[in-house]
Structure 1
Amino acid sequence: MNVSIDIVSDLVCPWCFIGKHRMTGAVALVREKFPETRFRLNWLPFFLNPDTPPEGEPYRAFLEAKFGGKEQVSSLQKVVTEAGRDTGVEFDFERISIRPNTLRAHRLIYRAQSTGRQPAEIEALVERLFVAHFQRGEDIGDIATLAEIAAECGDRMDDVTEYLESTMDVDQVRSLFDGISGQGISGVPLFVIQDRLAVPGAQSSAVLAAAILQAMEAPSS
C-alpha cells in the first residue's frame, strides 16, 4: 500500500526536528506490521515568524523578547533538549547566533521535490538543514551556506547558488504557506496522512504509527 504524508514544518522549529525523527520511528513501526508499505513524504513550508528580516536576526534576543526573558528561554530549551535526547536528537542552542529567514531553505526543499529527487535524497537534505541550524549553528538563510549543504546532499553548488540568487519559486513557496495558514494552521509540526487525517504536534512514534494505521484502514472517499 502507498501512504502519503504531508509534513508542515519550519526549519527553525525544534519540535519539527523532533517530530521528523519521531515520524521516522513511526514509519519503522508500521513497516514491522506491513513490510510492503511504501511511504511518500511531502514537505510543506511554514514560517513561524514571517517577518524575519532576509538577513536574519540575533537568535537569543529574539527568543527572550518572544518568551519573556532569559530564564523562560533557558527553561523552554531544557524541555526541548530532554525531549530531543529521548528521540535521538541532540541540540546545541549555544552555537546558534542567527535566527534565519527560512524562505531560501524552504525553496531548496521545494526545488528538490519538484525536480524529482529521490525520497532518500530529500530526507537527507531536510535532515542536514535541521542539523545545520540546531547542531552546527550554521546560517541556513545564507546562500553560500545553503549551496554547500545542497552539494553535500548530491546537488551542484553552482546550480543551487544561481537558483537561490534568483526569485525562482519564491511565489510558489509563499503561496503554499499562505494556503496552509489560511486554513487556520498556526503551529507546527503538522502531519497530514493520506489527505484525510491530521496529527498536530511532535507526537510520539507510537501515536503517529497508530494514526498512519488508522488512515490506511479508512476507506477512500
Structure 2
Amino acid sequence: MSEPLRITVISDVICPWCYLGKRRLESALEESGVAATVSWLPFELNPDMPEEGMPRADYRAQKFGEEKGAELDAEMKQRGDAEGVHFAFEKLVHTPNTRRAHMLVAQASDTGLGDDLTEALFRAYFEEGADVGDPQVLINIGEQIGLDPELAGEVIRSEAISDAVATMESRAAEVGVTGVPFFIINEKYAVSGAQPKEAWLEFFEKLQSEEDPAG
C-alpha cells in the first residue's frame, strides 16, 4: 500500500475485548508488514457510572450475576493468554468511571502519544489492577509515557475537555456505534469487534487488491 492506513479505534480502556482487539490488530499489522497510524476515540461502557466508580464485584454481579461474571472472566483470560494478553481479573477490585482516562488520551493524542497511553492504561488496569479512574493514578501513568504531570492534572480537571469527550462519544452513537471495539479505516471502511488476526490479514489483502487491481 502506498500510504500508511489510518485506523481509528473507538474503545473504552476497561473493555477487555478492546485490549484483545488491539493486540490482534497489532499482530496482523506486524505479520503483513502493512504500515498504519492508529488513533483512539472514546466510548464509555458505563456512562452513568458514579465519578468515584464502584466495587467490581458489585458491578459484575449487577450486570451478569456472580456465577456468569466469573465464567466470562475465565473465558476472556483464555482468549487473552492465546494472544499474549495476561488478564489478571483477580487483581481488579474496582470498576472506574473512565471519563478522565479518555480526557487524558485525547490530550496525549495531540502530541502523538495517544496509542502509547492507551496501551499503558490497558496494561495498568487489566494486568496490574490499577484504578484508572483515580486522578493520581492517571497522572502517574501519563508521566510514564512522557506526559507532563502538571499538564495531565490540568487536563483531567478540565470541564472543556470533559465536554469535548462527551461530544466525541455522542458522534459515535450518531453513526451507529453501539459496541466496542469499533475500527474505522481510512475514513471509509468499518470493522466491528475484536476480529481475529486472520480476518485482518484477509482485509488487508482485499485493500491491496483494490489499490492495485492488476496485482
State the Cα distance separating 1:217 from its structure 2 match.
4.1
2:144 maps to which of 126, 142, 152 = 152
State how many pairs are aligned.
Answer: 209
What is the letter of the counterpart of residue 139 of structure 2? Answer: A
- Tell me, yes or no, if structure 1 residue 9 matches structure 2 residue 11: yes
1:62 maps to which of 59, 62, 65 = 59
SS in 1 for 2:77: helix
State the Cα distance separating 1:111 from its structure 2 match.
0.5
Q: CA RMSD in A?
A: 1.4
CA distance in structure 2 between the partners assigned to 1:86 and 1:25 by the alignment: 12
Which structure 2 residues correspond to residues 160-179 of structure 1 after superposition, within 5 A?
Answer: 160-179=152-171
CA distance in structure 2 between the partners assigned to 1:168 and 1:58 by the alignment: 29
What is the letter of the counterpart of residue 15 of structure 1? Answer: W
- Tell me, yes or no, if structure 1 residue 89 matches structure 2 residue 90: no
CA distance in structure 1 between the partners assigned to 2:28 and 2:100 by the alignment: 29
CA distance in structure 1 between the partners assigned to 2:206 and 2:167 by the alignment: 30
State the Cα distance separating 1:132 from its structure 2 match.
1.2
Moved over 4 A (4+): none
CA distance in structure 1 between the partners assigned to 2:15 and 2:48 by the alignment: 15
Deviation string for 1:178-198 (max 9, x for gaps)?
A: 010122221111111122221
- Tell me if the contact between 2:60 and 2:69 (Cα under 8 Å) persists in the aligned partners: yes
State the Cα distance separating 1:168 from its structure 2 match.
3.6
State the Cα distance separating 1:203 from its structure 2 match.
1.0
Partner of 2:206: 214
Distance 1:166 1:91, change over 3 A: same
SS in 1 for 2:27: helix
- Tell me if the contact between 2:8 and 2:38 (Cα under 8 Å) persists in the aligned partners: yes
SS in 1 for 2:85: coil
Partner of 1:193: 185
- Tell me if the contact between 2:17 and 2:194 (Cα under 8 Å) persists in the aligned partners: yes
Unaligned runs of 5+ in 2: none
1:111 maps to which of 85, 102, 107 = 107
State the Cα distance separating 1:157 from its structure 2 match.
1.1
What is the letter of the counterpart of residue 59 of structure 1? Answer: R
State the Cα distance separating 1:86 from its structure 2 match.
0.4
Partner of 1:34: none
Deviation string for 1:96-155 (max 9, x for gaps)?
A: 1111111111111110112x32xxx43321111011111111111111110000000011
What is the letter of the counterpart of residue 131 of structure 1? Answer: R
Partner of 1:41: 38
CA distance in structure 1 between the partners assigned to 2:29 and 2:103 by the alignment: 26
- Tell me if the contact between 1:193 and 1:215 (Cα under 8 Å) persists in the aligned partners: no
- Tell me, yes or no, if structure 1 residue 124 matches structure 2 residue 116: yes
Deviation string for 1:164-213 (max 9, x for gaps)?
A: 12224112111111010122221111111122221111111121122233
SS in 1 for 2:79: helix
- Tell me, yes or no, if structure 1 residue 202 matches structure 2 residue 204: no
Per the normalisation by structure 2, the TM-score is 0.92
CA distance in structure 2 between the partners assigned to 1:87 and 1:30 by the alignment: 17
Unaligned runs of 5+ in 1: 32-36
- Tell me if the contact between 2:20 and 2:80 (Cα under 8 Å) persists in the aligned partners: yes
Distance 1:217 1:106, change over 3 A: farther
State the Cα distance separating 1:30 from its structure 2 match.
2.2
1:25 maps to which of 24, 27, 41 = 27
- Tell me if the contact between 1:191 and 1:200 (Cα under 8 Å) persists in the aligned partners: yes
